[in-house]
Structure 1
């Protein structure tokens, strides 16, 4: 209403969305070509079967870089972001207001609040390490994610925002351990979060064509966050309460 009244100088609306709208994303099957698998079944996750099958033949499939053409969110968060995108498009086109949608990848980096220990792999791993506890990884740690530093995010002004570099969650944990000079092995006790995609690596070719490219590597990102986190006062074990709540509500479960 404020925009339509013309009482502000706003000429463009920018929405911070998420690559969570892609859901499981794009895969390739040797028999059926490019496919988009359904959300992973809970009964499969309970048995520790982490990789989704081909939705056509049921065979093994290989994760691919996911472009922005297909959106199939598998979580409440992804659904909420897609609804926001639809609302921005609808109202923007109806009222002639310019809009841009930024789909953020797995953003990490300094000043990421450690009080929220529900999401953010680097934050959760670093917080456990700061309390001399071993990082615990969901599933087997081989999930692919496009980790991107918050400084790179701040520089980007394009519609598909990520870093274009695939790393496993295990890669991130091992790099953080090296940065923190801890000689321990990350744990994978078979826990999983319902609704998480197995792999999430978006296509950033349009962004690179516009002149943007991520500049901060995974080790520099981890080092900067570790230095920031360990300098903070009142560093409590927030992850314990988050773990208990997610287990109690069935958000995080353990494979049998």
Structure 2
């Protein structure tokens, strides 16, 4: 059996490739080796046993050729960043998966299953409960609210601060360019999969961390950014007040989720969250890293916020657990593995320190101005 892994040279994709090879599958990797993720070209971790095809998922001929002789597809390729090149998100994250199905249907390819990487980002600002008015899915917090430094989500009817709920699969509500493109991609996949009877599963990853995570692209997350500053003896910069919550999952648990839905037909034509289900504040996460790297450094809350960030994101994983999956790695294990990965590289590269300035220059990072 042969598997195609798009984005297979990347963080999650490469771990998936390793697992597939261990299970005795033939593997073909399709990856464009984006310079912002792979500035040095093909990573050393790409195994010689896997066939490597350098190409873009938005190129029809490339996709058609990559699908030849393939039985299953893991679509991990994605464009993710905080930059304002909005059209690129749709081009890669929607067109890319569309071409996979277009090629399968047009050429009657005998693909048995497609598993699509989606994102927790599809929930937008999240799901909340007002004590008086009940469940609601808010729009992103307004610029005016953020400028005042009012961080918590409020009920749109009574303006009371409301309780964040675990994110359930049935209530997506995407707003920013990345979230909308990922949701569009998964809907394209699940819809076409159903119509043409190509078993398809979408997996909505929470913040995934572990070895091989890129230290170069701006989207790589707070672990990389905080670690880079702590290694330089500088305090981690915390946006808002640090009490926003996030949900972290180890890359090995994400791989196991992929392998489970590959073989379990009960998962077909559905979307599943892949996370820990455990809320962690950004403040406590920064402190945990600080204890591991330099306990004398205290995180710094600067009175800034990042445009497009949501307040609380913690996924319910009950649906996937019902199939037998359960995350195995704790947050402490995630931190240890990531720091070991950074150490193996000799520390974070210079580019890791430039991300925040790039976001400020592009207007993504803003400062609170209560008088505005």
Query: Could you state the TM-score of these two structures normalised by the residue count of structure 2?
Result: 0.65
1:154 to 2:267 alignment = no
Aligned position for 1:231: 344
User: 42, 49, 52: which one pairs with 2:150?
Assistant: 49
Q: Give the whole-Å Cα distance in 2 for the aligned partners of 1:243 and 1:92.
A: 39
Shift of 1:234: 6.9
Assess, with a 3 A threshold, how the Cα gap between structure 1 residues 21 and 131 changes in structure 2: closer, same or farther.
same
Aligned position for 1:219: 332
The structure having more radius of gyration, on CA atoms, is: 2
User: 164, 175, 200: which one pairs with 2:277?
Assistant: 164
- Contact kept? 1:25, 1:72, Cα under 8 Å: yes
User: 29, 48, 64: which one pairs with 2:130?
Assistant: 29
Shift of 1:224: 1.5
Q: Give the whole-Å Cα distance in 1 for the aligned partners of 2:293 and 2:223.
A: 12
Q: Give the whole-Å Cα distance in 2 for the aligned partners of 1:124 and 1:152.
A: 23
1:77 to 2:178 alignment = yes
Q: Give the whole-Å Cα distance in 2 for the aligned partners of 1:6 and 1:31.
A: 54
User: Residues 22-53 of structure 1, C-alpha deviation per residue, up to 9 Å, x if partnerless?
Assistant: 11111111111122222100111112111121
Assess, with a 3 A threshold, how the Cα gap between structure 1 residues 194 and 128 changes in structure 2: closer, same or farther.
same
Shift of 1:199: 0.2
- Contact kept? 1:19, 1:103, Cα under 8 Å: yes
Superposed, which structure 2 residues align to 1:125-140 within 5 Å? 125-140=226-241
Residue 96 of structure 1 aligns to a residue whose secondary structure is coil
Assess, with a 3 A threshold, how the Cα gap between structure 1 residues 139 and 204 changes in structure 2: closer, same or farther.
same
- Contact kept? 1:192, 1:253, Cα under 8 Å: yes
Q: Give the whole-Å Cα distance in 1 for the aligned partners of 2:289 and 2:215.
A: 16
Query: Could you state the TM-score of these two structures normalised by the residue count of structure 1?
Result: 0.94
Shift of 1:106: 0.9
Superposed, which structure 2 residues align to 1:1-256 within 5 Å? 1-4=102-105, 5-7=107-109, 9-157=110-258, 158=261, 159-233=272-346, 235-256=348-369
RMSD: 1.6
Structure with more contact order per residue of length (Cα contacts < 8 Å, sep ≥ 6): 1
Matched pairs, number: 255
Residue 89 of structure 1 aligns to a residue whose secondary structure is helix
Runs of 4+ aligned residues of structure 1 deviating over 4 Å after TM superposition are none
- Contact kept? 1:137, 1:188, Cα under 8 Å: yes
Instruction: Choose 215-224 or 113-122, whichever is displaced more.
Output: 113-122
Assess, with a 3 A threshold, how the Cα gap between structure 1 residues 239 and 18 changes in structure 2: closer, same or farther.
same
Shift of 1:14: 0.9
Q: Give the whole-Å Cα distance in 1 for the aligned partners of 2:183 and 2:219.
A: 21
Q: Give the whole-Å Cα distance in 1 for the aligned partners of 2:358 and 2:226.
A: 18
Q: Give the whole-Å Cα distance in 1 for the aligned partners of 2:122 and 2:139.
A: 13
Q: Give the whole-Å Cα distance in 1 for the aligned partners of 2:141 and 2:183.
A: 20
Q: Give the whole-Å Cα distance in 2 for the aligned partners of 1:212 and 1:63.
A: 25
**Unmatched tracts of structure 1, length 5 or more:** none
Q: Give the whole-Å Cα distance in 2 for the aligned partners of 1:243 and 1:215.
A: 32
Shift of 1:117: 3.7
Residue 111 of structure 1 aligns to a residue whose secondary structure is coil
Assess, with a 3 A threshold, how the Cα gap between structure 1 residues 188 and 119 changes in structure 2: closer, same or farther.
farther
